[in-house]
């Protein structure tokens, strides 16, 4: 039996890496970064043997020529290396990854898997700040959070619960941490792939369709589009969601639709799916602690970081 020893949820933004000098004077930016460091300390103290990291894809590993809802990296894992995030081979726990994939299929899911999975900052941003030495093997799980139709929030919760059961049945005696990378409220200047209204929209969809093997060719204009975007944050949504994480009960959001989340908190808030799956994996009785929150318009994102402790054996009983 393996045990989940800690959960972590953390927003990501490549602008934090590339444009730090522009926010170095802001207390909010430091508050979030300090929160990440505290979460990294909690992870070190938990001493996991493996990290299951659940995050999104920003069209550098997956493209519109094939877009699975859930994908597990079961072999090589390669960081895309965009925007100062880790690039190249990352340590992988292939035994646990295969076990999770098989267990999910037996549990009624149909995850895709990859023997050579490229992950972008949807996975690697959180990894570089929470596991900065990159010295713990990972199992990356990528959820489609940007190319509609997206998996329902409740389906992501069920997936997380199935992951928790699979980890408990692993039989390898490992200490496992689960990281959720993404969210909270933010709106990216991205179109729906079937609804392109401007030249920038058409450029992005072309990059998302044809960028496999050449995504770097699209980076300059893509970064220009991102930097030109106006922030659209909803701190009230973020505060309510973090309260649910602290209470260990995400029930009030699980029946929200993709459209409702988009309208209230932005298309980037679809990344709360990773937090939902993480919390479900830790199981009933898990409780969260918000380490930091700051709405950082310079990064276009509500930046939150929280840790989640599993229920003790006594609490489970």
User: Which CATH number do you get for residue 282?
Assistant: 3.40.830.10
Same domain, 35 and 18: yes
CA angle 57, 194, 153 (to 5 degrees): 50
Write out pLDDT tens, residues 40-89: 999 999 999 999 999 999 999 999 999 999 999 999 999 999 999 999 99
> pTM of the prediction?
0.96
Average pLDDT over residues 188-204: 95
pLDDT at 248 (0 to 100):
95
Same domain, 214 and 90: no
Q: Catalytic positions, please? A: 121, 186
Confidence of residue 316 (pLDDT cuts 50, 70, 90): low
In a domain, 244, yes or no: yes
In a domain, 74, yes or no: yes
Q: How many helices (H) and strands (E) does the chain have?
A: 11, 9
75, 206, 221, 232 from 196: Cα distances, Å: 36, 10, 17, 20
Same domain, 13 and 30: yes
Same domain, 85 and 202: no
The DSSP secondary-structure symbol of 66 reads: B
Residue 317 has pLDDT above 80, yes or no: no
Among 228, 243, 278, residue at a domain's last position: 228
Helix (H) or strand (E) holding 119: strand 112-119
Gap between the Cα atoms of 314 and 311, Å rounded: 8
In a domain, 293, yes or no: yes
In a domain, 315, yes or no: no
CA angle 20, 26, 29 (to 5 degrees): 60
Same domain, 29 and 13: yes
Same domain, 133 and 238: yes
Same domain, 72 and 43: yes
Write out pLDDT tens, residues 244-259: 999 999 999 999 999 9
Gap between the Cα atoms of 243 and 246, Å rounded: 5
pLDDT at 312 (0 to 100):
79
Write out pLDDT tens, residues 118-157: 999 999 999 999 999 999 999 999 999 999 999 999 999 9
Same domain, 221 and 85: no
Among 228, 253, 276, residue at a domain's last position: 228
Q: Smallest Cα–Cα separation from 282: which of 178, 138, 170?
A: 178
Residue 311 has pLDDT above 90, yes or no: yes
Backbone angles phi, psi at 111, to 5 degrees: -70, 145
Same domain, 216 and 126: no
In a domain, 316, yes or no: no
Output helix, strand, coil percentages for the chain, rounded to the nearest 5.
45, 25, 30
- Token pair of 274 as six digits: 């990773």
In a domain, 214, yes or no: yes
Same domain, 29 and 109: yes
Same domain, 216 and 184: no
Tell me the residue length of the chain: 317
Same domain, 203 and 139: no
pLDDT at 314 (0 to 100):
65
Range of the domain at 117: 3-188+233-309
In a domain, 277, yes or no: yes
Strand partners, 138: 51, 92
pLDDT at 313 (0 to 100):
65
Q: Smallest Cα–Cα separation from 223: which of 118, 122, 82?
A: 82
**Residue 154 CB contacts under 8 Å (≥ 6 apart), including other chains:** 254, 255
The DSSP secondary-structure symbol of 20 reads: G
Whole-number percent of the chain with pLDDT over 90: 97
Among 228, 258, 292, residue at a domain's last position: 228
Average pLDDT over residues 157-174: 97
Helix (H) or strand (E) holding 9: strand 3-10
In a domain, 317, yes or no: no
Total domains, the chain: 2
Give me the chain's average pLDDT, please: 96
Backbone angles phi, psi at 153, to 5 degrees: -60, -40
Gap between the Cα atoms of 146 and 139, Å rounded: 21
């Amino acid at each position: 039996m393996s045990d989940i020893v800690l959960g972590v949820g953390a927003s990501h933004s490549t602008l934090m890496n590339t444009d730090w000098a522009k926010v170095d004077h802001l207390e909010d930016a430091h508050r979030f970064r300090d929160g990440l460091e505290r979460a990294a300390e909690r992870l070190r103290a938990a001493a996991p043997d493996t990290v299951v990291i659940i995050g999104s894809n920003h069209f550098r590993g997956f493209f519109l020529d094939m877009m699975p809802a859930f994908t597990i990296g079961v072999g090589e894992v390669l960081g895309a290396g965009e925007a100062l995030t880790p690039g190249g081979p990352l340590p992988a726990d292939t035994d646990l990854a295969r076990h999770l994939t098989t267990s999910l299929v037996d549990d009624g899911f149909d995850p895709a898997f990859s023997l050579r999975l490229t992950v972008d900052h949807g996975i690697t941003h959180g990894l570089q700040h929470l596991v900065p030495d990159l010295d713990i093997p990972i199992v990356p799980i990528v959820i489609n959070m940007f190319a509609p139709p997206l998996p329902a929030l409740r389906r992501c919760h069920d997936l997380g619960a199935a992951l928790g059961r699979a980890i408990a049945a692993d039989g390898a005696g490992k200490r496992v941490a689960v990281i959720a990378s993404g969210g909270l409220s933010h709106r990216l200047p991205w179109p729906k792939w079937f609804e392109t209204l401007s030249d920038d929209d058409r450029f992005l969809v072309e990059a998302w369709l044809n960028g496999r093997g050449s995504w770097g060719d699209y980076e300059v204009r893509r970064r220009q589009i991102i930097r030109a975007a106006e922030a659209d944050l909803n701190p009230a949504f973020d505060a309510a969601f973090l309260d649910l994480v602290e209470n260990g009960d995400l029930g009030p959001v699980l029946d929200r639709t993709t459209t409702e989340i988009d309208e209230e908190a932005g298309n980037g808030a679809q990344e709360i799916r990773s937090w939902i799956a993480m919390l479900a994996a830790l199981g009933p009785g898990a409780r969260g602690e918000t380490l930091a929150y700051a709405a950082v318009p310079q990064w276009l994102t509500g930046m939150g970081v929280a840790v989640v402790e599993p229920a003790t054996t006594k609490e489970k009983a």
